[in-house]
Amino acid sequence: MTSSSLAIAPANTADFRLLAKKRLPRQLFDYIDGGSYQEITLANNINAFAKLFLRQKILRDVSKIDLGMTLFNHSINLPIILGPIGLAGCFARRGEQQALTASVTHNIPFCLSTVGICSIEELKAQTEQAFWFQLYVIKDRNYAINLLSRAKNAGCETLILTVDLPVLGERYRDIRNGLSSSATSKSILSLFKRGADVVSHPKWLWDVAIRGKPLTFGNLSAAVPNAHSLDDFKGWVDNQFDPSMTWDDLQWIRDNWSGNLIIKGILDSDDAKNAVKLGADAIVVSNHGGRQLDCAQGSLTVLPEIVTAVNKQCKIIIDGGIRSGFDVVKALALGADACLLGRAWAYALAANGEQGVSQLLTQFENELRVAMALTGVTKVSDITSDILVQP
């Protein structure tokens, strides 16, 4: 899909969202776009950024602005990471490959999800550039260790361990669209609607569903060897969430992973301190993009107290509600070291593949540059709470 075929020239994340909505079957768009239950946490993430204001400062020398930083001994061009997105290969043909290519072009990290369509080995074959890997806390510890070994063999130096899924929060949009495991979603009417939805998007059907095969979880093929579709994997995946897991049970991760360890899903100061005790090199302040606990605070809202609790003992990354370079600047001003993008790059990928993700990152870069110039800072390391309008 080329930019000439798009109805509009996308200028920001909201535009990419509209294009994704037009291109994707509704069930897939809502999977990206939706949150759990009443989607209050999802709204809180975005509103937290909207309520925080930047302080304009003028007549500083901002002729040379440096957006780069060092993260885990690697120099990157932007304080941004493309976070793990499940099913990304369903949004664009071999979507994880395309997103990785865009991240390499912009010299920022890309993190592959356990439930990505492309496997660790497929991405490794694509590029010599190291990428990150994300792992869920799953019951099958032997298979988890196998995944860690595969990631290490592929040159992955950084692991994101997602810990906020002891149980799976329900997403009402998925129930309505037939993606949920509820009994009603398997009715004849529901299955018919899903089929009609897919065939009403012929460009996606040809480019992704047909040319983008196999649409299976590449990293889990050994766990479910007879699987031929995503539905075949679902039973195994749903059974792997472990509500009995505690902080004491996570030491085996450190015993089997010598690289950088990031704990994702921290919204509480005590949990942040526990992550530090475990030996985490970084944490992600996150409510899973509003897809788990509803009625929770926005990630940005709890960021300052977690920054205080961690007290520079590890890096702090944040996700949830980040839709622009201005949002990135706000997060850094409140103490984050970097930002993890989720929905924003998923919209861009669905809208226009690698080119869409690259366009989005360029837009973030431009917005970052303007936000820094007009708040009087020239380096990412100089972004502090001084650039914020204090309440």
Catalytic residues: 288
Token pair in block for residue 62: 């901002």
Could you tell me where the DSSP H helices lie in 87-171?
95-106, 120-126, 141-153
Strands 80-82 and 338-341: parallel
CB 100, CB 357: distance < 8 Å: no
Phi, psi (degrees; rounded to nearest 5) at 113: -80, 145
C-alpha–C-alpha distance, residues 209 and 369, integer Å: 38
Q: How far apart are CA 326 and CA 228, in angstroms?
A: 43
Q: 3-state DSSP call for residue 365?
A: helix
Q: Helix (H) and strand (E) counts for the chain?
A: 15, 10
DSSP β-ladder status, 69-71 and 74-76: antiparallel
**Cα(248)–Cα(189) distance, rounded to whole angstroms?**
46
Distances (CA, A) of 350 to 19, 32, 34, 83, 368: 8, 10, 15, 15, 23
Closest by CA to 87, choosing from 130, 109, 118, is 118
Q: With CA atoms as reference, report the closest residue to 81 among 386, 336, 293.
A: 336
Kindly state the tokens that stand for 290. Answer: 């509003």
The two structure tokens encoding residue 257:
């992973």
Extract the tokens encoding 369.
């540059």
Q: Do the strands 80-82 and 111-112 form a parallel or antiparallel pair, or are they unpaired?
A: unpaired
The torsion of the CA quartet 262, 265, 266, 270, rounded to 10 degrees, works out to: -90
